[in-house]
Structures are given as structure tokens and as C-alpha cells.
Structure 1
């Protein structure tokens, strides 16, 4: 009996090794987590292979009760018997796949046992089918809402399966065989069933805990980054996002870019991957230009021109919004660390989440900007002072100078007509913006003769495109705020120059300068103002960054000698050049 126990222990070890290898396969874990017809078919196939292996690797017992130990049993005498782990496989198949899987696996195991046993002992077919169905039925009943029965119930059901088998053996083969195999078979098959189910439960429990931790971290990361992405990516928000990502991951460096520049780089390599500077690595340039992710496993693949860069592997994923690549998410590892599949999938998932957040933010911003344009176009509702003052001026002029009153009325008509026409557009021609400005300043000049003069230094074509109302907002700001307490000698200089591939717009004045407390807030937040719209510069700054990126945001320089408002946008010209030339001539 002791020798049989040792030999069966070896067979049990083989089955446990196979079970451990099986549990490590994602395919198998998917089968046992949700019971479907497809999963039951696959479980039947897998456990049928196992039950055949159990028969083939059993311990043969001769008619004289001597133990025979061939490497693999392929054929044996009708009078011989076999001690094996078949009941272990049938029991575990029933507990994982249900009564029908257990019954079918039992049928395969019983048939195979009868075939290589010389077509004797047909009772093994009946016993195996009965045990497979009964254990599966009872297992489903006692497990309740759990995936498997408890440890106690697993042991009890395994004992029951082996006891039923012993009853059949006793009836058909006698007490002598039962006496020899009872203790080893009962003990090892019960322990084996317990170990098999315990391996499954432990692995699945650990995997679920790991998923829960990863999901919790990703959700926290997403929640913390959402406010920054909803407001759009700039140097400040990108820095916060990268810090959050690095806190929740194990990467050595995290970076974000727009289409041209590094927005933020946190971690190793900060000395040369500098925020606000152009993208350095060939890898990032490739991802941004093609919209395809790329994984690098060497410094050469990354393509950083800095010789001492410590980063040796990376994954860069595009941030795609509305089928356009607006930037890239970059995560790096230093030398000596290899990127795992889990880390690669994490970055891909984050890139998708961040792109979605950016899309939501951009949609909200564009909605806000459209609303701003509409509001700007209907300026008589939000800035009644200008309308009332213009009407009062026209009324006063009608008493003394009808021609000037008519001129003012035409200027006012032009002003609001252009507001309504251009308010919905993202870009308009320079000549259209200039007409709008001239309509506005014409009315203001009639109200305050000789108060200010405007000097235009325009060195770009009239078909140059720029955002509507940008010049008018700067000039209005200067007229209303720069020259307080001064009635004459006030100058406004408007300059438009091509700088490489960019259009540089500058509007300067020789006014009193801007208070330092106001300067820090100007263009960054809404400033309540009793005269005119205090939101104009703020909305313009948001509109510029929404259209052209962070590099186009407003820049303000001020002193007691005056202020300069400037911005850079991509240099673009209208395609309808022939119509424009004809119109200008």
C-alpha cells in the first residue's frame, strides 16, 4: 500500500504541474470565469485530454495484486486493474465546468479505461458518467453565488466521488482490490481535487486583486488629470499631468508634447528635454507626424541627439482627437530596466483616455469660443455703452453737421454688419479685420476728436488670415484704458510682420502702462470692468490657444512708457487670391 501511495503521489504531481501550467494561460482563465456553451466545449476538450493522461500514467495492479509500473500504460490484461488520478480529473472538471462537462469527461475517461483494459470492466463507464454528473450537480448547488465550492465542500465532494467509485469496484472486482487501493486513492484524489481548485481560486483571486489595484490607480490618475485636460494642454497643465502620471507609474521619465514642442518632461533627462523647446527625439517626431505609436528598446531607436541621455527604452503614443494627432504621450525607462507588456498596455490605455479627455475639453472650449463669437457679434447686448454713446454722438452731430452724422451712422452700420458676418468664422482676411477696426475707430474719433492716432506698419499681404476681432480688441483696450487722464498725444502702433512661418502681430501704445496686479491676471482670467467687456482679452487668449496651440498665447510687456500686446500665429493666406486682388483694385 505504501509503495502504491508513493507512485500515485508522483502521478498526482504530474497532474498538478499540468494544472499550474493551465491556470497560467489567459485562455483557460477566461473559460472558467464565465460558463457559456463555447467555454464548456473547450473545458470538455481540455479535461478529456487530462483524463486520458491520467489513465495512461496510472499504476497497473496485476491479478495477483502485484504493482506493475510501466512508463505509460498502452495495454493491459483483462484481469488486471489500474490505480490512477482519473477521479481527480473528473471531479475538477465537474466543479469547474458543471454537471454536463463532468458527465462527458467521465464518459471519455470510462471509455478509454475500458478500451485499453481489453474491453472489460464496463462498469467504469457507468461509474465515471454518474460521478461526473452528480459531483457537477452538487457542486453547482453548494457553491451558491461563488465561482467554486468552498474548501470544505471541495474535499467532501472529492471524497464522495472516490467512495462511489470504490462501491462500484467492490461490487464488480471484490474486496481485495478495494483493500489495496482504498486509502491511497481516497487520500490522494481528495487532496489533489482540493489542490487543483485551490490553485485556480488563488490565482484568480490574486489576479482580481491586481486588477482592482491597477483599476483603482488608473481611475485615480484619470480623475486627477481630468481637470487639466479639460482646460486644454499648455506648459503648466502638462507639467501637472506628467507629475501625476509619474507618481502612479514606475517609469523613469514622463513627457507630453504638442505638435511641435515639448510641453513637459518630468524625471530623468530633464536637463535636455526642456519644456517649451522643440521635440528632440526622432521617435517622437515619427509618432507625431504619422499618428502611429512606437516602442523603442534602445537609445538608437529613441533617437535622442543628446549623447549622455540616460533613457534607453520608451513607448510613445499619439494623442489623437477628431482623427488628428495633436500631441504625444511619452514614457521612458533608464538603462537596465525592460518594459513589460503590462506597462505597454497601460500607456496605450492612458493615451486613449487622455485623448478622450482632450476631445471633451476641446469640444467644450470650441463651444465656449463659438458662444464668445456670437456674443461678440451681438455686442450691443453685452456692451450697450458703445451703442448708446455712438447714438448720442450721431444725435448731437445731426444738429450741427448732418454729413458727419451720416458718416458716423455708416460707420456704426459697418461695425455691426461686420460683427455679424465675421463672428462665426475662425479666421478672416486682414483687409476685413482692418475695415472692422476702421469702423470702430471712426466712431470713436467722432466722439473724441484728436484724442488718439493709429500708425499701421503692415508688412504682410491683404489676404493674410487672422482670428476675427483680434486687432479691434487690442485697439479698444488701448483707447479705453491706456490713456486715462490724457486728451491728446496718444498713439497706437499696429504692426504685422512675417517671421519665418509665423505671423507676428503687435499693438503698442504710449499710455500709462498696466498696474502689476492687473497684469498678472490679464488674459488669464475674466476681469470685471464697468466700461466695455472685461472678458475680451481673456476670450481672445483662449481662442488663440485653441486654434494654434500654446505657442500663440498673448504676451504683454508694459512700463510707464506704454504697453505692447503681441502674439504669433501660423502665417496663412487665402486661396482666393484672384478675387482678392480684383476686389482691392
Structure 2
């Protein structure tokens, strides 16, 4: 029994060495995550069938007198002889890895071969091998559905159980059943279950290593994406490309990083920077092909890179296109000075980075377009204020021309000056408080000329003239108060404009002592057009939309009203004119 134990230990060791070599083959490693696919199952059947046949061929022959015959390659047996081998080990592992289909088919192949090897005797090996493959496969399927593999204890117990099934078949159906089982029971039970555990441990150790590596890579990629987002989202410029290339080199194993637009080199960090210089045209054949095709290219030699400069240290490269809106906007080039460093892992990494960086570029362009649209909308809203004020001013001047042409002439010049400076407000989203106050004073001079002593407008300014606010902000509120707050009241109409600063905020309040706003209209003002005999609320809605568009909902108009008057408050971030 000891001799058999040692001989079987050699066979198990051979299988485990081959298992270790198998797991280090990239093709097999790529197969494991896809083990539920039909194509993967077919390949697994071929691989494990080879292992099972090898187990039969390398078995230890046992004669009818229980003598051991150790040969290098066992091709045939006498009908009365038996084999002690590692077949059950391989069938069990095939089921645990590939499921019941793989396990059963490998068991069928191994069992048929064992019967042929014994010159047609011991047909029960076919049935026992299929059953072992199917049972271990069902256990494997249970764990595969949970995207995992059996634990070490489950694997060892499965190996022990499958070998026990084989022993029961031998005991029941073999000519020398009891004698044979007494000889092989302990060596095969111990070694095959141990071998099953080690075989699966080799596979699961690789899986865990891969998972840990992916976790580390995912962390690094997310960190890299976070670092490069501000640069790629600002567009492909020389400055942003240089900063992005530096970050990418820091977070990856590449020796050099280059970034181009559709024509020129924007940045190059690392070896080769003496001739891969920004602002020069793209010179490598590899980059030109990527720009033309829009597909990733991999070069494993200097010749494939196609750099025209002799002595260029760059020996291998991956060039990926940066695609925005289905057009190649540029390339990201990752180089090695040693071509052996370029592996499948780097290629996969490059593919992922291409998608991330292209998305960042697209995001930047989308944000820019969104900003342009938002600015255009705000400028359009600002432009809508001018006709509103313009028609009021013209009516005032027209009425004045009947009584005082000189005064009308002066007001017309003032109106001309107002609109000339007003053009700046249409072009810009923010102007200074001083400019806004000039607009309001120009408006008031026109209104008070038409209605002398009817309105008393007071300015309480506790803020710097250089503080910024949207054009026509105060003017709209003052005009709205003058037009709608006092109805037909002739005297005692007061409007107060208060501006102050605190805690990085600018406070604007325009209040009046008018008759107040009807309760049913108050919630609608600033949010929608209202139907009222006194006005539609268009100016307030316009202003409110501009404020929210520039600063967010926190800047929305705050309207409070009672029978004693109305106040409209605005709270926006405090910014100063840099000029």
C-alpha cells in the first residue's frame, strides 16, 4: 500500500504541475470568466479530456494477484488487471469548473478510454465516470450561478465523495472488487481528494489574484479619470494636454505619454521628448494610421512605430484615437522603451482609457455647448428688456414735445446715450453696480419728467460700485414698482432701492409703499405670465429666469407684499469687476 501511495503521489504531482502550467496560459485564463458559454465549454471538454486520458495512460497497473506494475505509458491491460490512477481527480475538477455538461462528457470520454484500455472489460467505468462528472458538475453550476468557485473545504469533500462513488462501483461490479478496494482505497481516497483540492486551489488562487489586480487597477483608473477630467473636459489644448500627459504617466507604467490633436503634437512626456515636440506635425506612421482609421494600433517594435528620427528610444507603443461625436479629435500615445513590457494587460488598459478620455472630451464639449446656449438665452432675455423700456421712453418724449421741445431734445439725447451704453448690457451677462445705477437714473429722469413730483425714489447703497450684477436687475424692479404699485395715487409714492454686501453675498431689495399685490397673483409672479388688468408680469418672469440661469434657484426673486406695500429681494454671489 505504501508503494502504491508513493507511485500515485508521483501521478498526482504530474497532474498538478500541468495544472499550474495550464493556469499560466493566457488563453485558459481568458476562458474561465466565459465558462458558461457553449464555445468555452467545448474547449474545456477538450482540455480536461486530455488530462483524463493522460491519467489513464500514466496509471499504475495492478495485476489480479495485487502486484504493482509501474510503466511510463500504459496503453493496454489484461482483462483481469486493474489501474490505480488520477482519472476521478480530473473528472471532478472538470465538473467543478465547467458544470455538468463538461463533467459528464469528460467522464464519458475517460470511461470509454478506460474500457478500451482494458480490452472491453469493466464497462461500469463508463457509468461511474459519467455520474462523477455530472454530480461534481451540478456542484460547480451551483457556485457558477453565484459567480464563484467552491471553497477549499467543499472541493476536498467533493473529491472525497467522488472517489468514494468510484470505490462503490469497483466493489459492486469488479471481478476482484473487495481485494482491489482493500489495496487502493486509502491511497486513492487520500491522494485524489487532496489532488482535487490542490488543482482547484491553483485555479481559485489565480482568480483571486486577478480580482485583486482588477480592484487595484480599477482604483488607479478611477483616480486617473478623476485627475484628468479637468484637463480633457476643457478641450484639447497644449496646456491641458501637457498636464493630462503628466498625470497619465504618473498613474500608469508607461515610459512616455504623447497627446496630439488631429494634426499636431500637443504634449509629450518622457523619453523621446527631444524630438516629439509640441506644435510640430504628427510624424510617426503609427499615429497617422490611427488618425486616418479611428482604430487603436499596437506596435511591438521601432519599425512599427515609424518614427523618422534615428536613435529614438521608443521601442513599443499603443496609440488610441480620441473620438468625439464620431470624429477623431486626436490621439493618446503610450510608449515603452522596452518592447517586452507591452502585454495584453496594457492593451486592455489602453482600450478602457480611450473610452474614458473620449467621454471626458465629449463631456467638455457638451458643457461648452450648454454654456453657449445658456448665455445666448440669457442675452436674449436681456435684449427683451430694451424694447419694453424703449417704448415707454418714446411715449414720454412724444408727450413732452408738445409742451417743451428743448426738454424733449435733451431727453432724446439722454435716451440715445442710455441705449448706446445699454448695448454693453446685451453683450455681457454681468455689469457693475455703477453702470446699473446709471441705467436706473436715466429711466427715472424720463419718468419724472413726465410725472413731476409723483415718485420719490431713494437709493441706500452700502456696497462698492465695482460689484457685479445682471444688467437691468434694479431697473426692472424700479420700473415695475412705478408702473404697478401705486395705481392712480398722485402723491406720497415712495420707492426705496437698498444694496448691501455680507458674507460673500450681494443683497438687493426694492420696496415701495404702494397698494400691494393681490393674494391670488403673488405666487405666480416671477414664475409665469399672469392675466391682470394692470400687467402680465412678463418683466418679473424674465428677470427671474435670468437670475436662476446665472446663479441657480437660490437667486430667485423673493416677493413679499401686503396692503402697505411690496418688497422684492434678490440674493446673489458677490463678485467684483476685475477691471
TM-score (norm 2): 0.62
Shift of 1:201: 0.6
Query: Residues of 2 paired with 1:342 and 1:376: CA distance?
Result: 51
Query: Residues of 2 paired with 1:135 and 1:318: CA distance?
Result: 47
Query: Residues of 2 paired with 1:361 and 1:116: CA distance?
Result: 69
- The reply on whether 1:7 has 2:10 as its aligned counterpart is no
Corresponding residue of 1:102: 103
Query: Residues of 2 paired with 1:231 and 1:337: CA distance?
Result: 35
User: 176, 181, 191: which is aligned to 2:179?
Assistant: 176
Query: Cα gap change, 1:95/1:332 in structure 2, threshold over 3 Å: closer, same or farther?
Result: closer
Query: Residues of 1 paired with 2:126 and 2:303: CA distance?
Result: 64
Shift of 1:141: 7.0
Q: What does 1:410-489 align with in structure 2 at a 5 Å threshold?
A: 447=417
Corresponding residue of 2:334: 331
Shift of 1:289: 4.7
Query: Residues of 1 paired with 2:414 and 2:293: CA distance?
Result: 51
On the 8 A contact 2:238/2:267 being kept in 1, the answer is yes
Query: Residues of 2 paired with 1:246 and 1:261: CA distance?
Result: 20
Query: Residues of 2 paired with 1:245 and 1:138: CA distance?
Result: 45
Corresponding residue of 1:320: 323
- The reply on whether 1:20 has 2:23 as its aligned counterpart is no
Query: Cα gap change, 1:4/1:444 in structure 2, threshold over 3 Å: closer, same or farther?
Result: farther
Corresponding residue of 2:85: 84
Corresponding residue of 1:248: 251
On the 8 A contact 2:291/2:330 being kept in 1, the answer is yes
Shift of 1:188: 2.1
Q: What does 1:145-294 align with in structure 2 at a 5 Å threshold?
A: 145=146, 147-171=148-172, 172=174, 173-275=176-278, 277-283=279-285, 284-294=287-297
Moved more, 60-69 or 298-307: 298-307
Query: Cα gap change, 1:377/1:273 in structure 2, threshold over 3 Å: closer, same or farther?
Result: farther
Query: Residues of 2 paired with 1:225 and 1:85: CA distance?
Result: 54
Query: Residues of 2 paired with 1:100 and 1:291: CA distance?
Result: 42
Query: Cα gap change, 1:303/1:163 in structure 2, threshold over 3 Å: closer, same or farther?
Result: closer
Shift of 1:92: 1.5
Query: Residues of 2 paired with 1:272 and 1:141: CA distance?
Result: 58
Query: Cα gap change, 1:29/1:290 in structure 2, threshold over 3 Å: closer, same or farther?
Result: closer
Shift of 1:199: 0.8
Corresponding residue of 1:93: 94
Q: Which runs of 5+ in 1 are unaligned?
A: 410-442, 452-468, 482-526, 534-562, 564-585
Corresponding residue of 2:372: 369
Shift of 1:183: 3.3
On the 8 A contact 1:228/1:237 being kept in 2, the answer is yes
> Number of paired residues?
428
Q: Tell me, what secondary structure is at the counterpart of 1:330?
A: strand
Q: What does 1:14-53 align with in structure 2 at a 5 Å threshold?
A: 14-25=14-25, 28-29=28-29, 32-33=32-33, 36=36, 38=38, 39-40=40-41, 42-53=43-54
Q: Tell me, what secondary structure is at the counterpart of 2:315?
A: strand
- The reply on whether 1:73 has 2:74 as its aligned counterpart is yes
State the 4+ residue runs in structure 1 displaced beyond 6 angstroms: 139-144, 393-398, 443-446, 529-533
Moved more, 120-129 or 82-91: 120-129
Q: Which runs of 5+ in 2 are unaligned?
A: 436-466, 474-578
Q: What does 1:377-388 align with in structure 2 at a 5 Å threshold?
A: 380-381=383-384, 384=386
Query: Cα gap change, 1:343/1:86 in structure 2, threshold over 3 Å: closer, same or farther?
Result: same
Shift of 1:363: 2.3
Q: Higher Cα Rg: structure 1 or 2?
A: 2
Q: Cα deviations across residues 254-281 of structure 1 (Å, max 9, x unaligned)?
A: 2222233333333334444444x22353
Query: Residues of 1 paired with 2:249 and 2:85: CA distance?
Result: 54
On the 8 A contact 1:91/1:135 being kept in 2, the answer is yes
Q: Tell me, what secondary structure is at the counterpart of 2:235?
A: coil
Q: Cα deviations across residues 399-443 of structure 1 (Å, max 9, x unaligned)?
A: 59x9xx9xxx9xxxxxxxxxxxxxxxxxxxxxxxxxxxxxxxxx9
Q: Cα deviations across residues 289-318 of structure 1 (Å, max 9, x unaligned)?
A: 553444344455545565565433332222
Q: Cα deviations across residues 366-404 of structure 1 (Å, max 9, x unaligned)?
A: 2332443455456523x74x985798599869959x9xx
Query: Cα gap change, 1:291/1:130 in structure 2, threshold over 3 Å: closer, same or farther?
Result: closer
Shift of 1:152: 2.3
Q: Tell me, what secondary structure is at the counterpart of 1:311?
A: coil
Shift of 1:117: 1.0
Q: What does 1:513-528 align with in structure 2 at a 5 Å threshold?
A: 528=468
RMSD (Å), alpha carbons? 4.3
Shift of 1:134: 4.0
Corresponding residue of 2:483: none
Query: Cα gap change, 1:133/1:323 in structure 2, threshold over 3 Å: closer, same or farther?
Result: closer
Query: Cα gap change, 1:219/1:74 in structure 2, threshold over 3 Å: closer, same or farther?
Result: same
Shift of 1:216: 1.9
TM-score (norm 1): 0.61
Moved more, 96-105 or 210-219: 96-105
Query: Cα gap change, 1:20/1:242 in structure 2, threshold over 3 Å: closer, same or farther?
Result: same
Q: Cα deviations across residues 101-150 of structure 1 (Å, max 9, x unaligned)?
A: 43443333333222221222233234333433444456667999573332
On the 8 A contact 1:98/1:140 being kept in 2, the answer is yes
Q: What does 1:384-403 align with in structure 2 at a 5 Å threshold?
A: 384=386
